[in-house]
Chains A and B, each alone.
Chain A
Amino acid sequence: MVETTTSTVSVRVSRAWQQLRTSLGQPQWLDVPILVEPIGEPQPRKIVLRAKTEDGKDLGPCAVYADEWYPGCTTPNPFSHYFPVLRSVLDARLRRKEHEPLRLQVLKAVCARTSSGREQVVLLKFIVAPEYTVTGRFVEDLYNCPLKVLFERFLGLARDSREQPPRLGEVRGRAVHTGYRRALVEFATTQDLDQAAQAYRAGVWSEWTRTLQALLATNVSREGGAPKDLLGSFTAADSILTQIAHGGVGSGTVELYLERLFYSATRGLSGRADRVEVPRDASAGPLCIAEVKTQSAIREQDPVTGESFPGGLQALAYRELLQSLGFPDVDAVVELVDGQRIVTKPLREHPIVRRLRLDLSKPDERVIDLVVQARNVYYCVTSGLFTGYDRYRLDNATRNWRLPDVSGQFDLLNDRPPCRSCVARQRQVCPSSRDREGRTLEGLFRYAPPPLFSYWVWFHRQLKAEERAERELLFHLVHTPPAVLEREGVTLADLRLQRQDGRFATFVRPERRLDTRIREDDLVLVTPQWSDSLLGRVPRPGELFSVQGRVVDLQEYDLVVELDDRVPLAPPGQEPTYRIDQLTGFDMRAWQLEGLADFLVSAMAATPVRGRMLRWSELPPLAQTILGLRQPASIRTDTPLPVWATSGLNASQRDALAAVAGLAPGDLLLIQGPPGTGKTSLIAAMVRFFVARALFDPARSPERRPVLVLTNTHRAANEVVLKIAQNASEVLPFLVRVGNEREDMEDAVAAQTLPRRAGLPSERRHQPPDSDDEAIAVLLAMSQRAQIIREHAAVFVATLGSADAPELRGLTFETVIVDEAGQATEPAFLQALRRLPFGYRGRLVLVGDENQLPPVVTAVTAPEPWPDLERLGIRPGDSLRTSAFERLHRRYPSVCVPLTEQYRMNGPICALVSHVFYEDALRPADERVAEHRLAHWLAELGTDPPAGLLGQSPPVLYLDTSDDPLARDSGALFQADDEGRANEREAELVAQLLAEFLRGLPEPLHQKVVEQIGVISPYRRQNTLLRQRLTRAHRALSALRVETVDRFQGGEREVIVVSLVNSNHEGVIGSLHAEWRRLNVALSRACSLLVLIGDRRTFTAPERSVEEAEARERFRRVFARIDELARRGEARVIPTRELFVPGAGP
């Protein structure tokens, strides 16, 4: 049963409580959510709670006893996990001072009479914090080894990729999955097995060619043929096609849902089964979930028969999940692709079901217990509520792989852990692991030096807070009315499907503008909004019927989404409306946690000391430096450099290169590069220097490479490659741009990706060879080329997020350069350390600018303080938004080389930016840059500046809207950081100004001119408005780049127009402008003309909070400096009251 509002839920809860009281002493199945708070002192076997409904109605006290006991109970369950999990969660919340009520989905409860004659509600079975979503696969992990979950999902431990070359077996499973899926779809459509076979080959081919790992690990087998994994994925076709032919798909009686998201808010579970077969006729049989497994490392075993098979718990969880959504009859099957055959195991015959003697034909509470136990314990362990950040509690927890303190007496868990595939064993942090000398890192937390532990805790807690917000997103979407979600800017409701063309679908809402925070490239869920016959109600986001997609175009009243699957069409008589909900994108928390965990483990593993607490001075020197405890070696800018190395560099770039050349292993160097100072050119020069020095070094081991460049974004990585191509093209044969070709890559960049260099351009992936033999031969040949290219590569360029990519596995680097280091969170930056040689015996160079945009994070609450932070250089107010570059620069100002000569902004624009943000230290690199004007640029295009405001403006133009009554902003539309403000008048002014400028120029030049103009505002909503006004004002302006500040960082244009938007009597500048570095980025993009439009009075009003004080001060300095420039004739200030008003002249 599903409710849509808190009040209906509340009514149902009240009824459930009444039902309990009328059935005294008889346990009842309820399945209702309540909120609870502990009352009184904790007792060893009893927890007393106060319960209330979601809307705050008091339900009175209730209790939870150990072993699911209640007064009068004669059959307690000694294996129950509910009590220990709840106790752990409540204890941890108390320690964390979390006082908001805890949500429980009560499944079973009883009203019992106590020995004193009182009636007492006792909760027996419940889901703790169902808003926290756990996926079915993770549930399976927990069943196999709870300790592994603690290490992998709480700590974030990953394999040491310095040691681990790519492995082929990991790809085989994905290849078979893809082939199977494609063959199924083809057969369902055509009923033709030959075409299904071709689709299978195309799927397998696409997966092998998509996965670089395959290229780097495929080699001839010892017997001289293709490797078994490669061969097996193709030859599995026969059994898969037989399976398809004999299934229900061919008969057309079922509807197929492939890898669709399904989510149950009452179970706190989500999943993506390989396929769900839904009968077209509801009476034709059960809905069937099929989970395909290709790797059999983790299996559930029946200890009596010895039989083992994977995927059982996952299938049980999916079955329970779909049943909880309201699908009445659900069956499940696990298919294991084992070599060349498929072994199909109906869930009722699975070893896990047999072992526990579960009866799936009728409701069996042990099924719920099994699934909920894994889910609850997973939640408790991964959210840190089990251990918290108590180092002794953490270590004690690792002593027993079953985590008995929360798992009850675990008879429902597996008998032994699957250690063979465990990362904790590889990293020797698990008590059951030892290295070759018999040493272990057991006691990792207890023996960590206090500063290292504090550092880990500080960032780990913040990452976990972000992870939690993400895990609660689906719950929020399901439980919040669409109208409220629209106001938050994350949902668009009442959309109609206008067109569906292949993967692309166009949705429209002509009656209401699409004011939203959703934008292009966002991941979304599209959900039909008519009543489904099987469910008997309108599905909610993530309930099997949603299709995932990516927004490719967003206009005023319509949007286009690229979908993973076709959206269903409304049956006759149903209103054909859809809703679209924003999902978060790629989960960056996972690899940031990995970087952080790796730092903790690798720093300790690098010391020979075991079995006692380490002193921080025993850690590798670079680790001490990162912790802020050891001053790095002084930098030397007088290191002699060969002439070829410094060619084309200015004085500050030469100093930086000399400093880099003088670094020893374990040293750190910071290079601060304000806008336009040639950071990328310097990086290209560094790369060439290191590669040239290492090219013929007979001492170099094949695993050790000279230089790795890591960037925060793909765009920056591409820029580095382009700059190397431009300034040091001789390096290109030895350069690999890590990753596959991407749509946003320039061809010169794509040409440096390993697949392209190996002879596998992206279009080839879509053209599978005609036979399996040919496909295998081509793959082997390309793989050999890829391996040779990788062997010879000396420089790799990657994003921080791909620092663990297959191309880099098994390699370490003598020098790691991190570009855009000011924009990376500190845990993200730690990825760079993962690529340094063991013991961090490499050079680390961070290039960035803390005066530009800080890292993007979602958590808004300030982190709680923790001991030792001051010692680490972490100040009050610091958070994940404080980059390592900023902290280390504060800590070690003497190891920073500033770049002070810039090549972008002309004299007056540079003077403005330099004065406000760089204490007047920034200057144009030469006279040509300083004197560059709009007229020079237009002369290069063969024309003169036109008449009108822009054409005749000095380098800085400020349009002051302070006294313009039309120029007030719209107010905040969304309850989020991006408040969704807009300013119609500013948008119109920008459009008219630029249209006037274009009209004064020859038409053939319009396209070239537009390419060199950029419009920036901090608000997405304003940008949508700007695009509409610009298009309306002049046709050529539809191609103009309009972006938020964040998206413009790193870019530049001859003309930049900045629309500040905020203009109101209250002087509200909002949280986006309160981040003063955003202003720096906005102002410093212009080469020859900067146009600023905004309300000086709003921005210079007295600050409304401490957080915005610095921003207000910088704005005051901006306007004061513009006034000063205006007095010198280098700027112009124009009130807009009379400007471009309909009927009035400019």
Chain B
Amino acid sequence: MTLGTHCLTPAALAERLAAFGENAVICLHQAELEYPGALAPGVLLLLGRLQLLRPLTQRIPRCREHSCPLTDRCLYAGDFEGSGGASSVRRKSWRKFRLTAESYAFIHRPELLVERLPEHLAARWLAQRFSEHDMWSSFQLAERWLDDALTAVDQGAVAAEEADSSAARPDFEGSRRELAACLAILVGLGWLEWEQDRQAFRLMRPWWLTPSAEVDAQSR
């Protein structure tokens, strides 16, 4: 069972990371092949961005080199082979991860994730949304995420035009699966809550406020 599809606590996540063991290479595709205890790709990407895992961008090991048990049935194994065969159309970086000293710090102190999470782009974006409304249906939230991505593209195009250079695509960082991972952790922390048969999220604790501001907000 993939961990953390709808609700994920830092403690459970830390425990799972610990289970991978030292020197483990954790791969995005393990969840797709339903590897027991695999972490959802969105969670891995999120941990990577929070520097609680190290995404491999260079000298990425082949699957057999780190003894991946899924190599024989993994469609992506070939992507990590060196020469030979057709070159892969997928980028190799940010698909495999290693534990780092920061990871172990997180394993020993899961609160580290709580401290760092608000800095993640998705969490910041969610903070803006939930400061506008307490409740968002999942469709509304996903549509807004799409609209903001399109707006970022349009702004980038305008900026490029004004600068009289070829348009460079603005980086609306993160994907919906990272947003999903962020939501699952926020639910796991009790800061958000699923409602309406998992059709909507309700804000339970405005994490972007300082404790005193939070009290003020609640009293209002």
Interface residues of A (CB under 8 A from B): 163-165, 219-220, 224-226, 426, 434-437, 608, 642-644, 692, 695-702, 704, 730-731, 733-734, 777, 780-781, 784-785, 788-789, 791-792, 810, 838
Complex: how many Å from CA A731 to CA B165?
Answer: 37
CB within 8 A of A695: which of B73, B139, B175? B139
A348 CB to closest chain B CB (Å) equals 39
Q: Is the CB of B138 within 8 A of A699?
A: no
Top 6 closest pairs, chain A to chain B, by CB: A698-B42, A642-B197, A436-B78, A699-B40, A698-B40, A436-B85
CB within 8 A of A780: which of B29, B81, B167, B181? B167
Q: Is the CB of B199 within 8 A of A785?
A: no
B96 CB to closest chain A CB (Å) equals 14
Q: Which residues of A contact B111 (CB under 8 A)?
A: none
Of the 9-residue stretches B53-61, B97-105, B147-155, B203-211, which lies at the interface with chain A? B147-155
Q: Which residues of A contact B19 (CB under 8 A)?
A: none
**Residues 146-189 of chain B, each 1 if its beta carbon lies under 8 Å from chain A, else 0:** 10011001101100010001111100100111111101100000
Q: Which residues of B contact A702 (CB under 8 A)?
A: 175, 177
CB within 8 A of A220: which of B166, B180, B197? B166
Q: Which residues of A contact B146 (CB under 8 A)?
A: 733-734, 788-789, 792
CB closest residue in chain B, given A164: B89
Asked if B24 is at the interface of the complex by the 8 Å CB criterion, the answer is no
Complex: how many Å from CA A226 to CA B165?
Answer: 10
B95 CB to closest chain A CB (Å) equals 10
Complex: how many Å from CA A1017 to CA B177?
Answer: 53
Asked if B10 is at the interface of the complex by the 8 Å CB criterion, the answer is no
On whether A692 and B138 interact (CB within 8 A), knowing A437-B78, A698-B181, A699-B177, the answer reads: yes
CB within 8 A of B177: which of A219, A643, A697, A784? A697
Complex: how many Å from CA A734 to CA B72?
Answer: 34
Q: Which residues of B contact A164 (CB under 8 A)?
A: 89
Complex: how many Å from CA A701 to CA B41?
Answer: 7
* Interface core residue of A225, A226, A701 (most chain B CB under 10 Å): A701
Q: How many residues of B contact A (CB 8 A)?
A: 56
Tell me the interface secondary structure of chain B in the complex: helix
Q: Which residues of A contact B145 (CB under 8 A)?
A: 792
Q: Is the CB of A696 within 8 A of B169?
A: no
Q: Which residues of B contact A220 (CB under 8 A)?
A: 166-169
On whether A699 and B197 interact (CB within 8 A), knowing A224-B168, A608-B72, A789-B150, the answer reads: no
Q: Which residues of A contact B161 (CB under 8 A)?
A: 777
Q: Which residues of A contact B40 (CB under 8 A)?
A: 697-699
Complex: how many Å from CA A810 to CA B178?
Answer: 21
Q: Which residues of B contact A644 (CB under 8 A)?
A: 196-197, 199
Q: Name 22 A/B residue pairs within 8 A (Cβ), A-sorted.
A: A164-B89, A220-B169, A436-B77, A642-B198, A692-B138, A692-B139, A697-B40, A698-B40, A699-B32, A699-B40, A700-B42, A700-B180, A730-B140, A733-B139, A734-B142, A777-B157, A777-B161, A781-B153, A781-B154, A785-B150, A789-B146, A810-B89
Tell me the interface secondary structure of chain A in the complex: loop
Q: Is the CB of B196 within 8 A of A698?
A: no
Q: Which residues of A contact B81 (CB under 8 A)?
A: 436
CB closest residue in chain A, given B38: A699
Complex: how many Å from CA A699 to CA B89?
Answer: 21
B35 CB to closest chain A CB (Å) equals 11
Asked if B86 is at the interface of the complex by the 8 Å CB criterion, the answer is yes
A423 CB to closest chain B CB (Å) equals 12
Q: Is the CB of B183 within 8 A of A696?
A: yes
B150 CB to closest chain A CB (Å) equals 6
Q: Is the CB of B149 within 8 A of A788?
A: yes
Q: Which residues of A contact B199 (CB under 8 A)?
A: 642, 644, 692
Q: Which residues of A contact B181 (CB under 8 A)?
A: 698
* Interface core residue of A437, A644, A731, A777 (most chain B CB under 10 Å): A437
CB closest residue in chain A, given B78: A436
Asked if B51 is at the interface of the complex by the 8 Å CB criterion, the answer is no
B148 CB to closest chain A CB (Å) equals 10
CB within 8 A of B138: which of A219, A696, A781? A696
Q: Which residues of B contact A700 (CB under 8 A)?
A: 41-42, 177, 180
CB within 8 A of B166: which of A435, A780, A792? A780
On whether A785 and B153 interact (CB within 8 A), knowing A165-B89, A698-B177, the answer reads: yes
Asked if B75 is at the interface of the complex by the 8 Å CB criterion, the answer is yes
Q: Which residues of B contact A781 (CB under 8 A)?
A: 153-154, 157, 167
B6 CB to closest chain A CB (Å) equals 8
Complex: how many Å from CA A434 to CA B85?
Answer: 7
Complex: how many Å from CA A437 to CA B165?
Answer: 45
Q: Which residues of A contact B29 (CB under 8 A)?
A: 701
Q: Which residues of B contact A224 (CB under 8 A)?
A: 165-166, 168
Q: Which residues of A contact B43 (CB under 8 A)?
A: 698
Q: Which residues of B contact A791 (CB under 8 A)?
A: 175
Q: Which residues of A contact B176 (CB under 8 A)?
A: 695-696, 792
Complex: how many Å from CA A164 to CA B88?
Answer: 10
CB within 8 A of B137: which of A697, A730, A784, A785? A730
CB within 8 A of A435: which of B32, B73, B78, B157? B78
Asked if B143 is at the interface of the complex by the 8 Å CB criterion, the answer is yes
